[in-house]
């Protein structure tokens, strides 16, 4: 029987994978720890597949351990693969991923963040529970007529643009690949230079992958070009933003706000319950959480029933193709 070791597994993952496994009857080993040099030792003998999530880091050392254990396939249960050192795995272990599970989930969450940050929804909800019905600090702006700059018009970026158009926003977008049909169909305008996104946008939303070329695209220099009223949204990957530069800009009121579902140092905190700590050791995260113009969610944009269904379906279908020696349509090369 094919053995799959799942790392960083949570109860909701187990439920969806167990349901989907009725089709396959794979032998599951659930390991709650993230993949590390310590936890890699928990993999049972005879395991050929490990199933990983966004914060399971696969570097050269981990690859050596996995190879020694006899692991032949890394089945990522996520779309991004920046946590895998592809040079280190090449020729040793195949990697598959779930390229698309619900662009709607992520795009809708991005908009939820924008609406909440702009109109102070969470803040107002906390206040009214305390029977405080005042409006101070809750002043927002109309989205209608404002310019939103989208970086990365892929599966998620496209859905985000449709939603933004529904709110009457003027959409400009930067992507290294442009499609006139898409531009016409969705009613937005490409810009040829990313700087135009920075200078013209009231809201900037990041939907490109994290690559060496996109790391820290939001930094002191790009922020300098932005309007003082600009709001930054990031549901893509934390390291697209130099967070220290962004925090400085927020504190000096160079920009107006930020809503983040991802953070470059998220691995120590996100998805975990740290509520028994007296304070957060990460000073940047701690400071941002104390600011009314910053909203942070814990990498939950993907978290809908539809997405979890698609993730378990595609992940186990990827494993089945590997076991059957078929072409790996979702292979990361």
Q: Work out whether 7 is an interface residue with ligand NAD (CB under 6 A).
A: no
| Residue 20 sits in the site that holds ligand NAD (CB under 6 A) | no
Smaller CB distance to ligand NAD: residue 2 or 171? 171
Q: Measured between alpha carbons, how far is 157 from 210 in angstroms, rounded to an integer?
A: 14
Cβ count near 39 (within 10 Å): 18
Q: Which is nearer to ligand NAD, 106 or 317 (CB)?
A: 106
Query: What residues from 173 to 212 belong to the interface with ligand NAD (CB under 6 A)?
Result: 174-177, 207-211
165-171-176-178 Cα dihedral, nearest 10 degrees: 60
Q: Which is nearer to ligand NAD, 120 or 152 (CB)?
A: 152
Return the range that interacts with ligand NAD (CB under 6 A); candidates 123-131, 196-204, 235-243, 315-323.
235-243
60 noted as active-site residue = no
Task: Write down the least CB distance from residue 179 to ligand NAD, Å.
Answer: 9
# binding residues, ligand NAD (CB under 6 A): 30
Q: What binding mask, one character per residue, do residues 236-275 give for ligand NAD by CB under 6 A, x or -?
A: xx-----------------------xx-------------
Binding to ligand NAD (CB under 6 A): which residues in 151-170? Answer: 151-157
Minimum Å gap between C-beta 69 and ligand NAD is 28
Sketch the per residue contact string, 132 through 151, with ligand NAD: x for CB under 6 A, - otherwise: -------------------x
Residue 237 annotated to the active site: yes
- CA angle, corner 273, sides to 269 and 277, nearest 5? 85
CA-based nearest residue to 315, from 71, 41, 77, 56: 77
Contacts for 158-167: CB closer than 8 Å, 24+ residues apart: 158/103, 158/182, 158/186, 159/103, 159/104, 159/106, 159/107, 159/108, 160/107, 160/110, 160/111, 160/205, 160/207, 161/186, 161/188, 162/107, 162/186, 163/107, 163/108, 163/111, 164/111, 167/143
Nearer to ligand NAD, 35 or 151 (CB): 151
* Of residues 1, 21, 25, 2, the one with CA closest to residue 13: 21
Question: Active-site positions?
Answer: 237, 266, 299
List contacts with ligand NAD (CB under 6 A).
79-80, 103, 106, 151-157, 174-177, 207-211, 213-214, 235-237, 261-262, 299, 301-302
């Amino acid at each position: 029987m094919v053995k799959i070791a799942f790392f960083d597994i949570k109860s909701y993952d187990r439920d969806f994978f167990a349901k989907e496994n009725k089709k396959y009857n794979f032998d599951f080993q659930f390991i709650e720890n993230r993949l590390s040099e310590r936890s890699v030792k928990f993999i049972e003998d005879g395991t050929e597949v490990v199933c990983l999530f966004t914060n399971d880091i696969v570097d050269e050392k981990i690859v050596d351990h996995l190879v020694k254990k006899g692991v032949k396939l890394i089945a990522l249960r996520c779309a991004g693969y920046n946590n895998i050192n592809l040079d280190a795995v090449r020729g040793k272990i195949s990697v598959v991923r779930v390229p698309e599970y619900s662009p709607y989930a992520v795009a809708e969450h991005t908009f939820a963040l924008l609406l909440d940050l702009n109109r102070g929804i969470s803040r107002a909800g906390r206040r009214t529970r305390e029977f405080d019905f005042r409006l101070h600090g809750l002043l927002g702006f109309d989205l209608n007529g404002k310019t939103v700059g989208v970086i990365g018009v892929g599966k998620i970026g496209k859905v985000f643009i449709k939603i933004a158009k529904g709110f009457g926003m003027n959409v400009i977008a930067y992507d290294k690949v442009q499609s006139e049909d898409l531009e016409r169909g969705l009613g937005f305008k490409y810009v040829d230079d990313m700087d135009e996104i920075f200078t013209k946008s009231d809201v900037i939303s990041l939907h490109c992958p994290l690559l060496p070329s996109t790391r820290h695209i939001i930094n002191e220099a790009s922020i300098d070009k932005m309007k003082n009223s600009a709001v930054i949204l990031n549901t893509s990957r934390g390291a697209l933003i130099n967070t220290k530069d962004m925090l400085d800009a927020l504190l000096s009121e160079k920009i107006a706000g930020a809503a983040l579902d991802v953070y470059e140092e998220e691995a120590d905190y996100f998805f975990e319950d740290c509520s028994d700590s007296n304070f957060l050791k990460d000073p940047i995260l701690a400071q941002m959480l104390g600011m009314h113009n910053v909203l942070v969610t814990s990498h939950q944009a993907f978290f809908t029933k539809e997405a979890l269904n698609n993730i378990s379906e595609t992940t186990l279908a990827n494993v089945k193709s590997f076991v059957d020696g078929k072409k790996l349509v979702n292979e990361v090369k």
